[in-house]
Amino acid sequence: MNWKNSSLDYEQFIDNILNAIGHIKFWKRNSTLSRTKNLINIFLNVTLLTLSSLLVISETIAIKNSYDLTSFAANLNPVLFHSIGLFKWIFMIIKMNDIEDILVRMKRCHRICLIYNETEEDFYQYTTKLMNYKDKMMKFTRIWFFICLSGVVQWCLNPVVYDYYNIHVIKVADENYTRNLPYPGSYPWIIDSNYKYILTFVFQLTSALTTSIEMATSDILNVIFLVNISLNLQLLNESLVKEKDNLIILRSANHELPAQKFKKELRNCLLHHREILLLVNKFKIVSSYSVFLLCFDSTVALCLISLEVSMIEINSSIECIMKLMSMAEYWSGVTVELFLFSFLATRIEELGLKTADAIYACNWEQPMVSYQAEFRGEHRRTTFHINQMIKFGLMCAQKPIIFNGGLFYILSVQTFKALMGFSMSNAVVLRQLSGES
């Protein structure tokens, strides 16, 4: 594929995201849609918010029916999961203008990269990385939506399998058996018939799918932004320092080439770094609440799961098997989501600190040490400007890029390891204490 077409495809990819999230701004008429489509868009958004809110309210009220610590943990986990999905969606709506600004800045970074990729080979390598980024993000979007939606469907099918086993295998009498629902809830009607049970089941399944869609959409956007920041830092570092001879800055710093060209190339790299830092700051504004909710939910959920594991009686009954499957599924979802964000945050922090080394190692001293003529006039002024740019570039790059989850969490692999270790040790200790009692 021609590199110009690849560049246009990348910009089209960003435009597609802008168009997609434009549907979330249901309070503002979309000029590209007809009146009918705008009304459908408003209806779908209001329906999502309404179903999610009703499910969270019903589950929250049902917490009062908890009769011990284990049942409290079992009732609280679904409330947390669905509340996080709802709140992430609300925060995304509130921060929609900032999200659009992030996408615009992604385009700016791309166009700056096009400036200092001069040769056909440079463009080919750059656009290849862009296409890999685009393809991976598309695959991640499909996979993450599939995981979230299929996880909810599987969770909701667990009580159906459990009821089928009890009614058709164990032959429990229908009049003495109460059917199970996917989630605990309190409703203004009594479920005393198959019709009401099916109606309630469909409501829980549909509402749970909406919260899953809301959470998945927010997570996908955040991952796209984090990976893009990581990609830009990687491209910047490779442009500043590279072992190969086709390095832009190193080639321009050769004493056979004028210092003015080196100054221009260095300026483009520092402009790129400035845009990356602005992109990071804007992302922090957008994701601060989401990251806090992620860390808070992960901490509470892991503690509650470890409590449930410590209290459950392990046996071969269908009830125990279904319970363990549900807990394993929920634990896996929480850990995968937390690890994904922690890994990307740590990678960005590492690449950000490497940028300072890359700026210092870009052979900025060559215009001075390789210049044979008298050191004055225009060359002296150019060298002074280069040194000033290096100085300010180093000052900006030496500040670590850290993503905070509110006032309590720093998103990193160390945080992930600490939470996982705490969860495991908590489960083991509680298991031993319950065994002794």
pLDDT digit string (tens) for 95-154? 888 999 999 999 998 888 888 776 777 788 888 888 899 999 999 999 999 998 988 998
Question: HSE of 417 in the Cβ direction (CA atoms, 13 Å)?
Answer: 5
Closest CA to 183 of 207, 166, 167, 215: 207
Closest CA to 114 of 7, 257, 245: 7
pLDDT digit string (tens) for 20-48? 888 887 777 666 667 787 788 888 888 88
**With pLDDT > 70 as the criterion, what percentage of the chain qualifies?**
82
The H-or-E segment that residue 410 falls in is: strand 409-410
Residue in the block written with tokens 């969860």: 423
pLDDT digit string (tens) for 263-283? 777 888 888 889 999 999 999
The C-alpha angle 260, 261, 267, rounded to 5 degrees, equals 90
Instruction: Determine contact, residues 233/348, Cβ cutoff 8 Å.
Output: yes
pLDDT digit string (tens) for 89-110? 888 888 888 999 999 999 998 8
Residue with the bigger pLDDT between 295 and 83: it is: 83
Q: In whole angstroms, give the CA distance from residue 358 to residue 364.
A: 11
- What is the token pair recorded at 96? 């929609």
Q: In whole angstroms, give the CA distance from residue 375 to residue 38.
A: 67
Report CA 432 to chain centroid distance, whole Å. Answer: 36
Closest CA to 426 of 300, 298, 303: 303
pLDDT digit string (tens) for 188-206? 888 888 888 889 999 999 9
Residue 322 clears pLDDT 70, i.e. is over it: yes
Closest CA to 20 of 170, 216, 171, 189: 216
